[in-house]
Every structure is written in structure tokens, then in C-alpha cells.
Amino acid sequence: MLDSSVRNTISILVYDDVEAAQEYITRVFGLTGGAQDKDGSGAVKHGEVRAGDHVIWLHPAGEEFRSPRNAGGVTGMTVIMVDDVDEHHKCAVAAGAQIMQEPIDQPYGAREYGTRDHEGQLWFFHAPIDN
């Protein structure tokens, strides 16, 4: 059942080092950096990046939350729509991205590539194939 009051979503990704994650995601993937909240010691306890209108919160790892690097696996992935997959891939590679799947046309009508960030989160960059 759809709730007509639902307007948007916010994704949350867990990192051991939120500040480093925000820097990596903006530098390598080209997302826009957002707010950072710091604790009394100056450590970043919350960060944000934006992909178009979508906000992704960067949450610190803790007792109940683990980054993929420390969890021993990944339980989700983030898919970002881009205008030109091949150009985005080229820029990400030049910035040091760890590519796990080169750009490929998928049978479901999209061209995409996959990468892992510095802590092991999975990211796919995707565009519809114009027919």
C-alpha cells in the first residue's frame, strides 16, 4: 500500500571514518559534499553527500553498525543514475576508483559499472540505454 504522504528517501551508509568517506565519495565519484557534524573531540559523527536530489547520510560504525570492511561482507549497494556511464567511469578510474565491473550494457536496458569505495561499500553508476 502506498502512502501518499511519502515524499522522499534518505540512504544511510556506515563507515569507520565518516570524514574520509565523505572526502572519497566527493573526490572519486563526483557527488556533492554536504553537512558534517562533529563531536566534542572534533571527530565527524555525521556526514552527508548528495546525488542530485537524493541525500546519503554517512553514519559512523559502532557496536551495532559495521562498515563492510569490518562486517566481512556487504548487505546492500547504492545505485546512482548518471548522464554518461563511460565518462563517469573514466573520471572515477582517474581518481583511483577500485572497479569491480567495467561498463556493460545490461539486458534490463541500462549501461552500468560497479566499484567499491575505500571501505568496501558497493556503488553502481547507471544510465538507461537509448534505443
- What proportions of the chain, in percent to the nearest 5, are helix, strand and coil? 20, 45, 35
d(CA 73, CA 104): 24
What Å distances lie between residue 120 and 16, 36, 86, 127, CA to CA? 11, 21, 22, 23
34-87 per-position pLDDT tens digit: 999 999 999 899 999 999 999 999 999 988 888 888 888 887 899 999 999 999
In this prediction the pTM is 0.86
Comparing CA positions, the residue from 114, 119, 31 lying closest to residue 67 is 119
